[in-house]
A and B are shown apart, each in its own frame.
Chain A
């Protein structure tokens, strides 16, 4: 090999090494980016919810706990001892990006904790998430509320399906005659989803705004609620909301049926780049 070719190639390698190292360093996060969450819980027993965060691939930044006032929640699976170099691994990675992982960490609130959190008004802005290395960050929870469960209407079959573009369909069969009142959706969901409601076998679904309320439902009829995404771009946000479908039974007793609406974030590489860029700009 001629000397000029060889040394030329070595120079290109050195330039590429320098360039790639600088580019890699420019993408590294000082702290994890916790994706925004909307959490609305209607439960008296126990409930699991998740938090999603972006972290550097080359660094182990594990979620250790979530502090809600006096209560501290620990990630599910925190007692498992595996992972590289013997570190505790609480969160599995959800999606891999060029320089980052989107990680999901699950938390469980038990009955006692739910009772405590209902009694205290938790300020969502003050919920903190602690990471390995004693790093404590705002958990970026926009809304966090816990409500009592209503008396439940008798229901039998229920199902929930999510298609590959994030549209959600909830299906429930009631076992007694009922009047269904207008479905009040949280603004978070209403702004992102177009919601249709209808009964099975009735053909076309009607947008909730156009539906005449209350809707009479006979025993054994199935109510279908469809959440269709308004935008093609998947929101980089986690929504975990229990939605109350208010109903009155034939004795005119106020009851309810609770839907668990869950939309997990799915980010494109471009969205991740933007989040990283914004985080870096903010930290300047």
Chain B
């Protein structure tokens, strides 16, 4: 399980950090492949696990334009706006399924403390991302100054929650060591 969280941690780190030297040297599709393998290592096969994995694979393909094109370049294309909103939507759904998977694992292990932390982080992460998505749908019908303000606030909030999420995955990796026992999780 610890190995699974390690994959998730590195995978989401790839999504968070984008460094372009001709192309993205920390490509998102690699991140999603790691996320998919991380999910497989955390949970047994099941409906939710399969959905989370499938979405990660779908996103690995969908995120290919990120590898070649920076955010500003994508935004300059007519399709950029729709593409980015679709990407953000799929991403939040994928994370939702991931939280469902993690939550069900901790519940089955009766790891109450970790389950509570996961629930709390999940609620904050999803709420902020959903609010950000909702804001994205509104900004096309607002004035430029308002757009900048909205984007700044939402970007800052999502950045903070993404960092919190990565720290959470790192902590889970440390706490769910290979020789996992129910005792040290409770």
A6 touches B140 (CB 8 A): no
Q: Given A1, A14, A24, which contacts B127 in the complex, CB threshold below 8 Å? A: A1
Say whether B85 faces chain A, with CB atoms less than 8 Å apart. Answer: yes
Say whether B50 faces chain A, with CB atoms less than 8 Å apart. Answer: no
Say whether A82 faces chain B, with CB atoms less than 8 Å apart. Answer: no
A84 touches B141 (CB 8 A): no
Interface residues of B in 140-178 (CB under 8 A from A): 140-144
Q: How far is the CB of A20 from chain B (nearest CB, A)?
A: 5
A24 and B147 alpha carbons, distance in the complex (Å): 14
* B112-151 Cβ-contact flags toward A at 8 Å (1 or 0): 0000000000110011001001100110111110000000
B138 touches A10 (CB 8 A): no
Task: List the A side residues contacting B89 at CB < 8 Å.
Answer: 10, 13-14
Task: List the A side residues contacting B92 at CB < 8 Å.
Answer: 10
Say whether A81 faces chain B, with CB atoms less than 8 Å apart. Answer: no
With both beta carbons as reference points, the residue of chain B lying nearest to A97 in the complex is identified as B143
Q: Given B76, B96, B126, B144, which contacts A96 in the complex, CB threshold below 8 Å? A: B144
With both beta carbons as reference points, the residue of chain A lying nearest to B139 in the complex is identified as A20
B141 touches A23 (CB 8 A): yes
A99 touches B93 (CB 8 A): no
Interface residues of B in 78-113 (CB under 8 A from A): 85, 89, 92-93, 96, 99
**Given A1-B127, A98-B143, A99-B141: A10 in contact with B93 (beta carbons within 8 A):** yes
Task: List the A side residues contacting B141 at CB < 8 Å.
Answer: 20, 23-24, 98-99
A1 touches B126 (CB 8 A): yes
B137 touches A84 (CB 8 A): no
B134 touches A12 (CB 8 A): yes
Task: List the A side residues contacting B96 at CB < 8 Å.
Answer: 1, 6
B76 touches A13 (CB 8 A): no
With both beta carbons as reference points, the residue of chain B lying nearest to A9 in the complex is identified as B130
Task: List the A side residues contacting B137 at CB < 8 Å.
Answer: 13, 16-17, 20
Q: How far is the CB of B94 from chain A (nearest CB, A)?
A: 12
Say whether A85 faces chain B, with CB atoms less than 8 Å apart. Answer: yes
Q: Given A13, A21, A24, A98, which contacts B130 in the complex, CB threshold below 8 Å? A: A13
A13 and B85 alpha carbons, distance in the complex (Å): 10
* A3-33 Cβ-contact flags toward B at 8 Å (1 or 0): 0001001101110110011011000000000
A17 and B127 alpha carbons, distance in the complex (Å): 17
A17 and B83 alpha carbons, distance in the complex (Å): 13
B122 touches A1 (CB 8 A): yes
Q: How far is the CB of A8 from chain B (nearest CB, A)?
A: 10
Listed from nearest, the 9 A-B pairs whose CB atoms lie closest are A16-B137, A17-B137, A9-B130, A24-B140, A1-B126, A13-B133, A20-B137, A1-B123, A13-B134
Mark A residues whose CB is within 8 Å of B. 1, 6, 9-10, 12-14, 16-17, 20-21, 23-24, 57, 84-85, 96-99
